[in-house]
Structure 1
């Protein structure tokens, strides 16, 4: 950890020296509250709540999956000069602690942990927990630690409302002069999130579905399942590049047949090869269930946002579960 902290500090020093000669490339704006977010949902929330009073910068580029992304020297320099930094927490951004510890010259920076206050879900290091796989009696897989925290809090509209509240509070703390604007924007946005939550709850947790089990490529939907009465079986683990064993694939096949699953869900920012191959072997279909970790180029051009993508997710779930 000391070496990691030293590396981030060294990057910060180098970036500050570098940016002295190229400050024109900075995305920071004078006269506005500069808000830097760690990935897309937080960017979307901050823009909606901040409105015209803020300049929001998203660290992760379009088309990039956030799990293995780390900040570059320019990113660290931008954060060190911003007024607000919003990150998810719950272990998603492993680099945040060292980065914030290295920023000592910006005492006014408000760091917002968006997932604060959300009851977090502990999960096995393997995607096959005791709950989904009765054969995994030890709660461990391949010598890994038994449990970690699932960071995918935002993929439930119920959790998203708590995250929006945390961001609103952070903006007011950094810029109390525009509190009235932030509160008005927040109330409008929370109304949309509440409607989204109601639609998910009424559609998925009303006891009218034929099935409640979903098979997904990435173990990203635990909060959605907890809040709306579903059960996920992931092909891969918390990180979308983890790989299942032959025994795991055998269990998935058995699960699909026993629960009459018709669809395997995949996501767009990582390879869909394994999900489609497995679906082909089992004679079932595939569809997108978006963990909303970022936008594709097409989604960015179309102006998609958290609300619109979650509504697409709801439509995909209803088609697969009815």
Structure 2
């Protein structure tokens, strides 16, 4: 496939930056190898908080994607390369979500790597009104389709409890055996907190079992499956690509036929399309955030992010029931 000239220039620039950072790493050594704290880089803010919960004071964590930004098609910055060059552990989701990280891993050549999608069973990916992959209006090549598996695993607290957090503890202990007891104690406390969180979310959403909603993109299927809801469609054909008229028409028709009760928008996407679908279908819009992070009100940490999203969903569904 012919690569556009602008894309060639961008790739050339990143290769040059990668070379510079690698050269600096050779000249200066890899800092942090003898330090008390393990330097960890994650792609997303919620992953960073998972590492902090398990690692405690024995880790320092940098999330590459800032709060409010979308991980789909993220453009890395030079500061990201510097963080990766210092890292002893790199943690990312995988399953097609943060593929932009792959060419940058050369800068973290001495770091351990943990792809969280390899630690838990995945749901098949579903983009669009009612079927995976292509849908009405889909075109040719696309950059940000997730692939065959849904990567939004962190939005299920019990997957975090049973799979993701233990994998993080194991990775940290392998790098820092002296801290193994601390990591296991922190993990146990975090798992207990996640169990309580799950019970709280379950109680919030119990009155709305079977409720269907449409979302701006297919982020919420793990959460919905855990708590008895159903994401019945996505506004975006692929994350980062605006849907065409045929796609929108098919989605609106399906939403009406399915009896959806809400349209979910997200901080990382323009809300206008969600508002248009909600008007056409006659249901309310609720704003959720699958990432949260520092500076995001009510969602500074992982557990607060899950709890706030659950509360907003519960309140919106209660309001929809009274319409």
The bucket for the TM-score relative to the shorter chain is 0.7 to 0.9
Note the 1:85-164 alignment, pairs <5 A.
85-101=90-106, 103-104=108-109, 106=110, 109-124=111-126, 126-130=127-131, 141-142=138-139, 148-161=148-161, 162-164=163-165
Q: 1:65 aligns with which of 70, 74, 86?
A: 70
Q: State whether residues 213 and 261 of structure 2, in contact with CA within 8 Å, keep that contact through their aligned partners in structure 1.
A: no
TM-score normalized by the length of structure 1? 0.80
Structure 1 match to 2:4: none
Displacement after TM superposition at 1:12 (Å): 2.7
- The number of equivalent residue pairs is 305
Q: Does 1:14 align with 2:20?
A: yes
Q: State whether residues 76 and 99 of structure 1, in contact with CA within 8 Å, keep that contact through their aligned partners in structure 2.
A: yes
SS at match of 1:123: coil
Q: Does 1:235 align with 2:261?
A: no
Q: State whether residues 284 and 316 of structure 2, in contact with CA within 8 Å, keep that contact through their aligned partners in structure 1.
A: no
Q: Deviations along 1:60-116, whole A, 9 cap, x unmatched?
A: 233322211143344223323322111111121213333335654x2xx22111222
Note the 1:242-253 alignment, pairs <5 A.
242-253=241-252
Q: 1:140 to 1:264 in 2, by over 3 A?
A: closer
Q: Deviations along 1:245-283, whole A, 9 cap, x unmatched?
A: 323322333334334434211111221111123323444
Q: Deviations along 1:284-314, whole A, 9 cap, x unmatched?
A: 321112222x447443xx6721111111111
Distance in 2 (CA, whole Å) between partners of 1:160 and 1:80 is 27
Unaligned runs of 5+ in 2: 1-7, 319-323
Q: 1:184 to 1:141 in 2, by over 3 A?
A: same
Unaligned runs of 5+ in 1: none
Q: State whether residues 168 and 186 of structure 1, in contact with CA within 8 Å, keep that contact through their aligned partners in structure 2.
A: yes
Q: State whether residues 86 and 112 of structure 1, in contact with CA within 8 Å, keep that contact through their aligned partners in structure 2.
A: yes
Structure 1 match to 2:171: 170
Q: 2:46 aligns with which of 41, 44, 49?
A: 41
